[in-house]
Structure 1
Amino acid sequence: MPSAGSSPRRVKQLAALLAMAAAFCAQLLGALLAQVPVFVTAAAAGLALDLYLRHRQPALLSMLSRIRFDVTVRQLLRDMLILLGLLRIDGIDPLREQAPLTVALLLVYALHFVCQAVAMLVRRTRTLPVVTRNIDASALRLCAAPPRLLARRPGHRLLTFSVPATTGLLVTAVTGDLHGGAAGIGVSLVLMAAGTVHLATWLLPGKRPANTEQTLEWLDTWLAEYRPTVAMYFSGGTSSAYQANMWLSTLSALDGKPLIVLRERFMVQKIQATDVPILCIPRVSHLFALENSTLAMMLHPANSGKTSQVLRIPSIKHAFTNHGESDKLSSCNPYAKAYDEVWVAGPAARERYRLAEIGVDDKDVVEVGRPQLAPIQPWTGAPESTYTTVLYAPTWEGWDGNPGNTSVVLAGENLVRALLDDEGVRLLYKPHPMTGSVDPAAGAADRRIRAMITEAAARRSGPRPGLEAVAEAARRRAELDRLTSSDFRAGADELERMMLQGRPEEGRAALVAAATEAWEEAYWASFPEWEHQIVVTPRLGIYSCFNQSHLLISDVSSVVSDYLHSEKPYAVANTSGMTEADFRASFPTVRAATVLTPDASGVPELLESVRHPEKDLRKEARAELKAHLLGPSDPPSLVRFNAAALALCAEADERRALMTASLMSVIPSQRGPGQDAPAEPAPGAGGSSEPANA
């Protein structure tokens, strides 16, 4: 769905296109009619517009490149029209005077293409088969990246280095003196030649990183020295990194040597602060370096097309942890049967897999709880403050268009209106970030809800926190930004980031966690307790909103399961069209909830039960459902999770031993008389996959 600011942006882009077309047309007419002021002004305006759009509207120029009207074509056309104009001017000899200018100008473009060829070679040599973070990869001869203008921005380079040449030609057109054009083209030639030579120094041995073979040898050596035992494997798109980030603290707390294995290069910087080594291996052929390592098992927080590639490694066991559990069908994906084990929070998910009949054997389902929920504070009874804080956190509409997926469209405005009508309610509205991405009606309803909350907040007044609280929140935010920001210069490439991130600050992840907690506390303290808020700050997690609230209103989603960890009252909006009885029977997470109809008629009674716990008839049901969904509180979830990891690692070791024994039994039968027996493999080394498949 187009965003609110898309129309003005499109108007600006259309105006820029029209201005560019007008400049070229005016330049052509001025050149043909020998109207020097016209084509000189038009050429200068066109060049200035191109430079402006390069910095302010790169998306528009990208669109022009897709229709083969890229910067090279535009600049060449612009210069050729200037040369055409010079042909029409009296007093300039085309053969004796203009021809040398034309040849020199073409040489500028030839050098541009040479520089681009060198840039491609440099980028190729600086693209290693692996990308690392939190790993000392200095042995790969890493160094700082070349200037971005030379190596990665050919459009900027051509425009910038062509300015002297184009300007000189325009001076010649105005004055009739060839020296202006010659001087301008000369400066451009020097810039292009010097830039090309400087860029080529990155191909010399002193700046050239390790090649593919050397890098893979280094990888084998590093794996042998680090000796990883458990890894989190992740592959996904730009917006899916949260699925991996939610497992970072759990992974780092496990016994053994943890590792994060990624498949997309961009994802390396999407992973939040962690002390765990990060290894990105884009190509499947290089991924099998893990087979001969000590890695015993992998955790999988999401399914992806590339997951099947790593499942082919026979020496590694695989556990599917998912990135959230709900009653939705997506929580029981048939792909789960490809893993050795499926790790779930509690008995409810085990039941869900059994009922789904998708091929997951019950013995392969392991209940490990949800270690990430530890920061969620427990229910303490009736609100102690004047206001009852209600968190309305609906999910998005989903891909299938089912009206029961989200309450935003059919019930959202009614729910918000009913909450805002209660003077004792403070509303926190946290919509799903993908709301409106599929159904425009959901996006429109979301905007109306935000407008309602903004208007209601403006009508309220009361004492506000002092300037000290606001300043403290700003200070904490600055400190958090300092810890989490990547101090990379604009031209840093993959190798330079690897060099800078090779040795992480010891305990940095703990520092970031503490800074995040301090900022969240200061953030909430900087607002009055009566102020409604629309929570869309990406840095502010939903668990922080949980801790601020006394009541959750949501939809059927993993948000409800996570909130149950607190045992606070919650409600689920029923927009499915089912009866309440069928709704509760179909979705186990709803069994301890107050079910709200689309007209929100039950909101007053719900608020009354929150304010007066003696009227809360679902307290015991929530405690029972929590255990059913999330498993027992004792032993703690992290203890159970770690035990499951150790057990699966032990199984992997047993299978590796069997594979090694199988290899030993096959090889002797292939030896001739008098041949020595093969050396025994190093401890922890995986066997080849051929004997296992034989």
Structure 2
Amino acid sequence: MNAKSGLRGWLAGRMPALAAEVAALAALLLAAVADSPWWALPPALVALGLLGYLWRNALSGGPTPSGSTLVIRLLLLACAYLLGVVHSGADLVLALGVGVAALAILAEPAVTATSRSVYPVSANLRGSGLRPNLRPNTSRAVLVNGAAVVVALVCAFAGTLEVISLVVSVAALALIAFTGWQAVTRVRARHASETRLNAALAAYEPVFLLHWEAPAGTAYQVGMWLPYLERLGKKFFVLVRSEANFNEVLRMTTAPVVLRSGLTQIDDVIVPSLRAAFYVNTATKNNHLVRYTNLTHIQLNHGDSDKVPSHNPVFRMYDKNFVAGQAAVDRFAANGVSMPAEMFSIVGRPQVENVAIAAAPIASLTAPRVLYAPTWAGFYADSNYSSLLVGYDIVKALVSRGCSIVFRPHPYTMRSAALTQESERIKALLAEDRRTSGRKHVFGAEAETKMSVVDCFNASDAMVSDVSSVVADYLYSEKPFAMVAVSTPAERFTDAFPLARAAYVIDAQSGRVTNLDPVLDDLLGSDPLAATRHDLKKYYLGDIPSEGYAQHFIDEANRYL
């Protein structure tokens, strides 16, 4: 980014604050030369608007941006004092009130910076102390400081009640001082916990750890593996790299959870009893741990699919890659990523152990239920496989055939405004059809949070998806499914994504579906690919007996522990 674009970006982000500062300064100058106290009205309105903004931000759960409003509030305080001097004469009490309020506001940056140093160190780990108390509430202090500005303006406008302004300002300064004291105390507690961390972990004697770093809202990555790692019967802990990840994991396990954000902090958690480290994604910060050669580093990944990320060369840095079936091994070679066979272990997908197998041909069902499970847009253009932009037409066609729908979009759908809009359109369509026809469509919170992916599989008779790991998992059920060809023309789709050999391919390369009717005829009717699905199931999910399917993973993992 060049200097000009950087300056434009800074100005764009600062424009609301700059406009408010200019307005406050103009009001201050006008108040200084005018005879009427009504010039106090503009800065009073600015102050009230500012306080409302801070209050709304605090209620939304976000941090109150004290730094971006600090100059505005100081100018408004100066305006209040000048109004008092011009229209009522110099007043020591008002001056003290304005000065104390200014001190409280000027203390905000230091208190906020100290508060940001308060973060959890560990939880569920005896000997290192429990998770520190929550971060001090700086938003509350900023709101009270804003109230002190408003009170000072009102008192200056009224020309009386200066004592009230002083009392409120003293209360604001006391609150910011108390918040600062809380922050300092909790930082010291954090340091004490960090000092004891290594000894506490050594006493706990973990055999392995699970390393996870990912954007907030992606806890499904670890959620799918924690139950099976717990079934290994060995002591372990979860190492996370951000406070958001810490809070998410803490809700999912009783195992110790440790937060180490920096590279140099990792040394604190590498204790002699550790033998292996598991990973569930290819996050860049995995490098911070892979450098410890005394551990066996095992990549589990959080799904198996023909997507580009599934044959990323970065998988070569792990000692072992646990994959679902031979298809994953062949995928690397087919895409020019050379990896020796000993780097792989075929363990199946233990998460599908409770997926129900198709009980009858779909043609025998009069009103089949179809799961629509589109993926998201991906981090990069070459991994955008989402079918949601044509999903409305697909769902509408299924509903017109008398199907009931289970709609479960990817958790990351909300990251794209366009995909979110299409998701809402589909939900509105299903809500309206449920109202008029009585069909029991499942969507929204019921499908996305109350039901697991496996629950959605078992509640359906067929599925429509795209290039996604849910397709390989659904293959275990041997139920029919369709894949939407978004990124690649339908005639070359099976070459790029071999799993599509078991799927009915919907052509959406042009941004609209073109062969939907014949595909749905096969999907919901004659189902000519039933035998193909049965054969590919072993290729993608391992030739593992269904009895004790997940045990195969547990046995293989225990070999390295």
Q: Indicate the TM-score class for this superposition, using the shorter chain for normalisation.
A: 0.7 to 0.9
Residue 380 (structure 1) shift: 1.4
Q: Give the conservation status (yes or no) of the 8 Å contact 1:31–1:84.
A: yes
- Matched with 1:369 is 348
What is the DSSP-based 3-state SS (H/G/I as helix, E as strand, rest coil) of the residue aligned with 1:232? strand
- Matched with 1:341 is 320
What is the DSSP-based 3-state SS (H/G/I as helix, E as strand, rest coil) of the residue aligned with 1:553? strand
Residue 21 (structure 1) shift: 7.2
- Matched with 2:502 is 592
Quick one: structure 1 residues 623 and 402, their matched pair in 2 at CA, closer, same or farther if it must change by over 3 Å? Answer: same
What is the DSSP-based 3-state SS (H/G/I as helix, E as strand, rest coil) of the residue aligned with 2:559? helix
Q: Give the conservation status (yes or no) of the 8 Å contact 1:592–1:625.
A: yes
- Matched with 1:84 is 82
Q: Name the aligned partner's letter for residue 555 of structure 2.
A: A
Quick one: structure 1 residues 78 and 275, their matched pair in 2 at CA, closer, same or farther if it must change by over 3 Å? Answer: same
What is the DSSP-based 3-state SS (H/G/I as helix, E as strand, rest coil) of the residue aligned with 1:350? helix
Q: What is the aligned length?
A: 540
Quick one: structure 1 residues 291 and 602, their matched pair in 2 at CA, closer, same or farther if it must change by over 3 Å? Answer: same
1:535-684 aligned within 5 A: 538-539=448-449, 540-576=451-487, 578=489, 580=491, 582-598=492-508, 615-634=526-545, 636-649=548-561
Quick one: structure 1 residues 567 and 71, their matched pair in 2 at CA, closer, same or farther if it must change by over 3 Å? Answer: same
Q: Please list every run of 5 or more consecutive structure 1 residues that lacks an aligned counterpart in the other structure.
A: 1-12, 463-527, 650-694
Residue 113 (structure 1) shift: 3.7
Q: Give the conservation status (yes or no) of the 8 Å contact 1:260–1:277.
A: yes
- Matched with 1:102 is 95
Q: Name the aligned partner's letter for residue 85 of structure 2.
A: L
- Matched with 2:52 is 52
Query: Which protein has greater RCO, CA pairs closer than 8 Å, 6+ apart?
Result: 1
Q: Give the conservation status (yes or no) of the 8 Å contact 1:34–1:85.
A: no
Residue 83 (structure 1) shift: 2.3
Residue 54 (structure 1) shift: 1.2
Alpha-carbon distance in structure 2 between the residues aligned to 1:338 and 1:583: 30
Alpha-carbon distance in structure 2 between the residues aligned to 1:135 and 1:18: 50
What is the DSSP-based 3-state SS (H/G/I as helix, E as strand, rest coil) of the residue aligned with 1:292? coil
2:69 pairs, out of 68, 71, 75, with 71
Q: Please list every run of 5 or more consecutive structure 2 residues that lacks an aligned counterpart in the other structure.
A: 1-13
Q: Give the conservation status (yes or no) of the 8 Å contact 2:355–2:454.
A: yes
Quick one: structure 1 residues 22 and 216, their matched pair in 2 at CA, closer, same or farther if it must change by over 3 Å? Answer: closer
Q: Name the aligned partner's letter for residue 406 of structure 1.
A: S
Quick one: structure 1 residues 330 and 457, their matched pair in 2 at CA, closer, same or farther if it must change by over 3 Å? Answer: same
What is the DSSP-based 3-state SS (H/G/I as helix, E as strand, rest coil) of the residue aligned with 2:55? helix
1:104-151 alpha-carbon deviations (Å, 9 max, x no partner) = 522442355457646655764x45xx62222245x5487755862xx4
Matched, 1:236 2:214: yes
Q: Give the conservation status (yes or no) of the 8 Å contact 1:72–1:155.
A: no
Quick one: structure 1 residues 323 and 163, their matched pair in 2 at CA, closer, same or farther if it must change by over 3 Å? Answer: same
Alpha-carbon distance in structure 2 between the residues aligned to 1:143 and 1:398: 36
Alpha-carbon distance in structure 2 between the residues aligned to 1:196 and 1:436: 37
Alpha-carbon distance in structure 1 between the residues aligned to 2:41 and 2:477: 69
1:13-162 aligned within 5 A: 25=26, 28-36=29-37, 38-57=38-57, 70-89=68-87, 92-93=88-89, 97-98=90-91, 101-102=94-95, 105-114=98-107, 117=110, 120-121=113-114, 124=117, 126-127=118-119, 131-136=121-126, 140=129, 144=133, 148=137, 151=138, 153-162=140-149
What is the DSSP-based 3-state SS (H/G/I as helix, E as strand, rest coil) of the residue aligned with 2:502? coil
Quick one: structure 1 residues 608 and 256, their matched pair in 2 at CA, closer, same or farther if it must change by over 3 Å? Answer: same
- Matched with 1:256 is 234
- Matched with 2:254 is 275
What is the DSSP-based 3-state SS (H/G/I as helix, E as strand, rest coil) of the residue aligned with 1:283? coil
Residue 44 (structure 1) shift: 3.4
1:375-394 aligned within 5 A: 375-382=354-361, 386-394=366-374
Q: Give the conservation status (yes or no) of the 8 Å contact 2:197–2:269.
A: no
1:418-567 aligned within 5 A: 418-422=397-401, 424-435=402-413, 440=418, 449-450=426-427, 452-458=429-435, 460-462=436-438, 528-529=439-440, 531=441, 533=443, 538-539=448-449, 540-567=451-478
Q: Name the aligned partner's letter for residue 70 of structure 2.
A: T
Q: Name the aligned partner's letter for residue 225 of structure 1.
A: A
Q: Name the aligned partner's letter for residue 405 of structure 1.
A: Y
What is the DSSP-based 3-state SS (H/G/I as helix, E as strand, rest coil) of the residue aligned with 2:168? helix
Alpha-carbon distance in structure 2 between the residues aligned to 1:646 and 1:147: 43
Q: Name the aligned partner's letter for residue 155 of structure 1.
A: V
Quick one: structure 1 residues 587 and 120, their matched pair in 2 at CA, closer, same or farther if it must change by over 3 Å? Answer: closer
Q: Give the conservation status (yes or no) of the 8 Å contact 1:298–1:319.
A: yes
Once structures 1 and 2 are overlaid, which stretch shifts more, 382-391 or 46-55? Answer: 382-391
Alpha-carbon distance in structure 2 between the residues aligned to 1:190 and 1:437: 44
What is the DSSP-based 3-state SS (H/G/I as helix, E as strand, rest coil) of the residue aligned with 1:270? helix
Q: Name the aligned partner's letter for residue 430 of structure 1.
A: R
What is the DSSP-based 3-state SS (H/G/I as helix, E as strand, rest coil) of the residue aligned with 2:544? coil
1:578-607 alpha-carbon deviations (Å, 9 max, x no partner) = 454x43243221122222334767655655
Q: Give the conservation status (yes or no) of the 8 Å contact 1:368–1:640.
A: yes
1:53-100 alpha-carbon deviations (Å, 9 max, x no partner) = 11225699x99969x7x33222221121122223332xx44xxx3366
1:366-421 alpha-carbon deviations (Å, 9 max, x no partner) = 11111112232221114687521112222234455469823344x54443343232
What is the DSSP-based 3-state SS (H/G/I as helix, E as strand, rest coil) of the residue aligned with 1:279? strand
Quick one: structure 1 residues 534 and 606, their matched pair in 2 at CA, closer, same or farther if it must change by over 3 Å? Answer: farther
Alpha-carbon distance in structure 2 between the residues aligned to 1:449 and 1:87: 63
Q: Name the aligned partner's letter for residue 616 of structure 1.
A: D
What is the DSSP-based 3-state SS (H/G/I as helix, E as strand, rest coil) of the residue aligned with 1:268? helix
- Normalising by structure 2, we get a TM-score of 0.83
Alpha-carbon distance in structure 1 between the residues aligned to 2:59 and 2:183: 32
What is the DSSP-based 3-state SS (H/G/I as helix, E as strand, rest coil) of the residue aligned with 1:621? helix
Q: Give the conservation status (yes or no) of the 8 Å contact 2:54–2:65.
A: no
Q: Give the conservation status (yes or no) of the 8 Å contact 1:163–1:188.
A: no
Alpha-carbon distance in structure 2 between the residues aligned to 1:147 and 1:403: 41
| Identical pairs, percent | 25
Q: Name the aligned partner's letter for residue 272 of structure 2.
A: S
Alpha-carbon distance in structure 2 between the residues aligned to 1:215 and 1:577: 53
Q: Give the conservation status (yes or no) of the 8 Å contact 1:376–1:565.
A: yes
- Normalising by structure 1, we get a TM-score of 0.68
Matched, 1:311 2:290: yes
What is the DSSP-based 3-state SS (H/G/I as helix, E as strand, rest coil) of the residue aligned with 1:39? helix
Quick one: structure 1 residues 547 and 400, their matched pair in 2 at CA, closer, same or farther if it must change by over 3 Å? Answer: same
Q: Give the conservation status (yes or no) of the 8 Å contact 1:234–1:261.
A: yes
Q: Name the aligned partner's letter for residue 44 of structure 2.
A: A
RMSD of the TM alignment (CA)?
Answer: 3.8
Residue 302 (structure 1) shift: 0.7
Alpha-carbon distance in structure 2 between the residues aligned to 1:446 and 1:104: 53
Q: Name the aligned partner's letter for residue 371 of structure 1.
A: P
Quick one: structure 1 residues 628 and 146, their matched pair in 2 at CA, closer, same or farther if it must change by over 3 Å? Answer: closer
Quick one: structure 1 residues 254 and 455, their matched pair in 2 at CA, closer, same or farther if it must change by over 3 Å? Answer: same
Matched, 1:195 2:107: no
